[in-house]
């Protein structure tokens, strides 16, 4: 019966019989696999996201392309491995920084552009982090509306390594215009949510794509006053006396930070319900990479090993929840291998749009996986770091490539993720026959990237973003 339903859905979309679904992607920053109640987190309270999982599905093998902000977001937007589009690093760091000469190439085709081609309204409210120069901003990549930050909120004068980086004040943008410098970060989640809610209310009568990439819970942690109730009085007093931004002190606000994000998800879901469009709106909640690294013991990878920056599972397997009442049966736990790169071709198919055909797209249509529990369309998944291949997943097997040691020692490892999700038992000596298969996959992938890669975008003279001049009244 499920297969019949899937066939009917596919045919109805192809023939234009079904209403185009709305798409909402909520993307947090540096959230670990264990940082949701429905994924076993006891250090957080996330009732609305847990409810969303109960009404939809938990995706327990859902991956991002890279364990860092910029390459992960580039893959989401384009449906491509970050190395294919030269977005593994910024021009001077693992991510794009302020006044970076590098960014997502305007010639790339994003989810927003694909959906916009068939009449979708498009908005992003939150953190972009794919280049801060005008040529690279989301308004040049298919988004009609943008309110938020061009990069991470720690790229500011209070960064612990400020002596090295000399970061300028943090800009807040409306479209392509800087409207504030050093905005009150405690209000980020509330302000982003207000904009997302307004976008839904204004476009409820037409199909839309809403992208909500929260800057948090990336450090430094920020929480509005509404969610400070219950915080230890000593922490509250210390915050009142805070000079600049105390990263270590703010680590104690992780639970409250996640509670506010959970509230934000609830507001979005409630707005969809009030607008009468909840049934045919696909809402996905996930993160850009694993639990943060900068002295952040507050968030967790759950049963996974590794954190942000690592191609162990904890760096790239995300706590993901999807809700689509019209097609996804409630209360499912789906362990099929899927990725953020799959969203572009999947959304295109469901919207009746054409995914790009003039270039290689790594993502696959996962409609049948989500609705029907079909097997993954990926032969393998390739774990890339900034500019190199680190590991491969093939079925339940994960192979960490030999990275070499000064003494010539072989560092290759093999894990069975079905039996050993924490990657603790290297069984490579028991399965030498698999090594040849993985090495063959690695060579084919590298050859493909060599033949079919595209350049990032570059500008000759990047400039610092500055506050727009105020008109005289």
Class of the 19-379 domain? Answer: alpha beta
Percentage of the chain surpassing pLDDT 70?
94
For residues 6 and 368, give the distance between their C-alpha atoms in angstroms, rounded to a whole number: 7
| Alpha-carbon torsion angle 277, 279, 280, 286, nearest 10 | 100
Q: Which of 360, 412, 463 is nearest to 132 (CA)?
A: 463
Q: DSSP secondary-structure letter at 206? A: S
- pLDDT tens digits for range 322-370: 999 999 999 999 999 999 999 999 999 999 999 999 999 999 999 999 9
Q: In what order do the strands lie in the sheet with 381-384?
A: 381-384, 389-394, 397-400, 413-416
- pLDDT tens digits for range 128-181: 999 999 999 999 999 999 999 999 999 999 999 999 999 999 999 999 999 999
The residue ranges of every structural domain in the chain are: 19-379, 384-451
Residue linked to tokens 């927003």: 112
Phi–psi pair at 192, nearest 5 degrees: -65, -40
Amino acid 2: pLDDT: 38
* Identified catalytic residue from 80, 82, 129, 378: 129
Structure tokens at 103: 């960014």
Preceding peptide of 217 cis, ω within 30°: yes
CATH number for 384-451 (one of 3.40.50.720, 3.30.750.24, 3.40.50.1100, 3.30.1120.10): it is 3.30.1120.10
Query: For the chain, give me the number of helices (H) and strands (E)?
Result: 13, 17
Predicted TM-score of the model (pTM): 0.95
- pLDDT tens digits for range 86-116: 999 999 999 999 999 999 999 999 999 999 9
User: Are 293 and 301 in contact, with CB atoms under 8 Å apart?
Assistant: no
For residues 14 and 359, give the distance between their C-alpha atoms in angstroms, rounded to a whole number: 22
Chain centre distance of CA 95: 14
- Using pLDDT thresholds of 50, 70 and 90, give the confidence band for residue 468: confident
How far is residue 453 from each of residues 84, 102, 343, 435, measured CA to CA in Å? 5, 16, 20, 26
- pLDDT tens digits for range 196-233: 999 999 999 999 999 999 999 999 999 999 999 989 99
* Identified catalytic residue from 69, 80, 257, 369: 69
How far is residue 4 from each of residues 8, 10, 284, 327, 400, measured CA to CA in Å? 6, 10, 24, 12, 40
Neighbours of 431 (CB within 10 A): 13
The yes-or-no answer on residue 129 being catalytic is yes
Q: How does DSSP assign 408-430, residue by residue?
A: -----EEEETTT-TT-----GGG
Q: How does DSSP assign 337-381, residue by residue?
A: -EEGGGHHHHHHHHHTPPPP-SS-------HHHHHH-PPPS-S-E
Amino acid 409: pLDDT: 79
- Using pLDDT thresholds of 50, 70 and 90, give the confidence band for residue 81: very high
- pLDDT tens digits for range 428-442: 999 999 999 999 999
Bridge partners of 415, per DSSP, are 398
The yes-or-no answer on residue 203 being catalytic is no
Structure tokens at 149: 């930050």
Note the helical H segments in 203-253. Answer: 233-240, 247-250
Q: How does DSSP assign 108-155, residue by residue?
A: S--HHHHHHTTT-EEEEEEE--S--SGGGSGGGTT-SEEEEESS-TTS
Q: How does DSSP assign 51-114, residue by residue?
A: HHHHHSEEEEEEE-S-SSHHHHHHHHHHTS-TTTTT-SS-SSSSS--TT-SEE--TTS--HHHH
What is the pairing mode between strands 208-213 and 338-339? unpaired
Cα end-to-end span (Å), the chain = 66
Torsion sign across C-alpha atoms 311, 282, 342, 399: positive
Q: What share of the chain is helix, strand, coil (3-state, %, to 5)?
A: 35, 15, 50
- Using pLDDT thresholds of 50, 70 and 90, give the confidence band for residue 18: low
- Using pLDDT thresholds of 50, 70 and 90, give the confidence band for residue 17: very low
Q: Which of 134, 129, 149 is nearest to 75 (CA)?
A: 129
For residues 313 and 195, give the distance between their C-alpha atoms in angstroms, rounded to a whole number: 33
For residues 168 and 272, give the distance between their C-alpha atoms in angstroms, rounded to a whole number: 38
């Amino acid at each position: 019966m499920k297969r019949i339903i899937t066939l009917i859905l596919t045919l109805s979309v192809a023939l234009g019989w079904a209403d185009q679904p709305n798409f909402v992607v909520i993307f947090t920053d540096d959230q670990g696999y264990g940082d949701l109640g429905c994924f076993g987190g006891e250090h957080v309270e996330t009732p609305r996201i847990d409810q969303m999982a109960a009404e939809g599905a938990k995706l327990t093998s859902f991956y991002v392309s890279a364990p860092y902000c910029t390459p992960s977001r580039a893959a989401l937007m384009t449906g491509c491995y970050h190395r294919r589009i030269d977005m593994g690093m910024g021009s001077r760091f693992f991510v794009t920084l302020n006044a970076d000469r590098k960014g997502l190439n305007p010639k790339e085709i994003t989810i927003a552009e694909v959906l916009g081609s068939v009449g979708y309204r498009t908005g992003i409210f939150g953190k972009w982090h794919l280049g801060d120069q005008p040529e690279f901003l989301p308004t040049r990549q298919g988004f009609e509306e943008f309110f938020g930050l061009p990069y991470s909120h720690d790229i500011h004068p209070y960064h612990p390594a400020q002596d090295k980086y000399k970061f300028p004040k943090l800009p807040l943008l409306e479209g392509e215009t800087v409207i504030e410098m050093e905005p009150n970060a405690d209000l980020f989640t509330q302000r982003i949510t207000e904009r997302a809610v307004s976008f839904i209310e204004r476009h409820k009568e037409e199909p839309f794509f809403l992208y909500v990439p929260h800057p948090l819970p990336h450090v430094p942690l920020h929480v509005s006053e509404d969610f400070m109730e219950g915080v230890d009085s000593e922490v509250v007093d210390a915050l009142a006396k805070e000079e600049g931004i105390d990263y270590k002190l703010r680590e104690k606000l992780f639970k409250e930070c996640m509670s506010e994000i959970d509230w934000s998800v609830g507001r979005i879901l409630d707005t969809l319900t009030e607008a009468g469009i909840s049934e045919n709106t696909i809402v996905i909640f996930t993160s850009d990479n694993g639990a943060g690294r900068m002295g952040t013991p507050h968030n967790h990878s759950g049963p996974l090993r590794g954190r942000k920056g690592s191609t162990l599972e904890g760096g790239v397997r995300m706590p993901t929840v999807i809700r689509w009442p019209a097609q996804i049966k409630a209360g499912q736990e789906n362990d099929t291998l899927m990725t953020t790169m799959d969203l572009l071709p999947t959304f295109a198919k469901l919207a009746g749009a054409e995914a790009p055909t003039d270039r290689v797209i790594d993502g696959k249509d996962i409609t049948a996986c989500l609705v029907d529990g079909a097997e993954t369309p990926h032969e393998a998944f390739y774990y890339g770091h900034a500019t190199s291949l680190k590991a491969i997943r093939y079925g339940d097997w994960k192979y960490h490539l030999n990275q070499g040691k000064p003494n010539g020692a072989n560092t290759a490892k093999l894990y069975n993720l079905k039996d050993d999700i924490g990657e603790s038992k290297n069984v490579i000596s028991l399965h030498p026959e698999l090594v040849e298969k993985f090495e063959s996959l690695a060579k084919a992938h590298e050859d493909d990237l060599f033949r079919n890669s595209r350049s990032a975008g570059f500008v000759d003279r990047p400039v610092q973003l500055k506050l727009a001049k105020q008109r005289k009244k």
